[in-house]
Amino acid sequence: MAKMIYAGKAKQLWTTDNDQLLRVVYTNQATALNGKRKDQISGKGELNNQISTLIFEYLADHGVATHFVKKLSATEEIVKKVKIIPLEVVTRNIGAGHFASRFGVEEGLRFTKPVEELYYKSDELDDPFMNESQAYALKIATAAEIEKIWKISRQVNQLLRSLFAEIGLELVDFKLEFGKTAAGEIILADEFSPDNCRLWDMKTQQHMDKDVFRRDLGELAPVYQEVLRRLTSKLEAG
């Protein structure tokens, strides 16, 4: 019998018949302020599943090891079972969101070198900012593991910045999560969708990500649909 082993803010994780594999269910829930504001957005689960599938397949085709195995249905996918490293790994190409508020700068500052940040993944503690020495002290990851995490993050940034640029979207920032396989390999886990990145339309500067919900800028589903439409036409054209 399949068991739900984790209920996150926008996804659930279920066991499968194969103890190496898990089933992810994308839900329609949108949250802001670390879960303090919640809403149901019809179609969001399907859109994120489709977008994340396209991105993870694209990354795999370009040599990035991920937990993604296959899309199972409109809202479900099969992934490899990994031990999630409790770090939220944020890369920023342009200053926005908490970078802008924390340092008192306007959104839109372009960095010559991407900014890399770690946060400790803990709902109770509100995901506090964490540096590498704190991660080692708490035995969250070893130096070699953190080095691997940055290496993969940089590779993802290079690949996805170019991919989104080709469809008229600026990859402002994004959050990644990593997991460790039974063999001890660090691979990309979780998802990549407009729920955990910022995308700005290059022509109109319009927000094409979850900031539409966080900042009450209008309807979210049509925006995600447009991101999916552009990605699909680009990736299907090859």
Contact footprint for ligand C5P (CB under 6 A): 88, 90, 97-99, 127, 173-175, 196-198, 210
Q: How far is the CB of 184 from ligand C5P (least distance, A)?
A: 26
Q: How far is the CB of 225 from ligand C5P (least distance, A)?
A: 18
Q: How far is the CB of 159 from ligand C5P (least distance, A)?
A: 17
Comparing every residue's Cβ against ligand C5P, the nearest one is: 97
Q: How far is the CB of 194 from ligand C5P (least distance, A)?
A: 8
Closer residue to ligand C5P in complex, CB, 77/88: 88
Closer residue to ligand C5P in complex, CB, 116/145: 116
Q: How far is the CB of 238 from ligand C5P (least distance, A)?
A: 28
Closer residue to ligand C5P in complex, CB, 16/31: 31
Closer residue to ligand C5P in complex, CB, 68/192: 192
What is the DSSP code string of the chain?
---EEEE-SSEEEEE-SSTTEEEEEE-SEEEETTTTEEEE-TTHHHHHHHHHHHHHHHHHHTT--BSEEEEEETTEEEEE--EE-SEEEEEEEE--HHHHHHHT--TTPEEEEEEEEEEE--TTTT--EE-HHHHHHTTS--HHHHHHHHHHHHHHHHHHHHHHHHTTEEEEEEEEEEEE-TT--EEEES--STTSEEEEETTT--B-STHHHHTT-S-SHHHHHHHHHHHHHHHHH-
Closer residue to ligand C5P in complex, CB, 90/149: 90
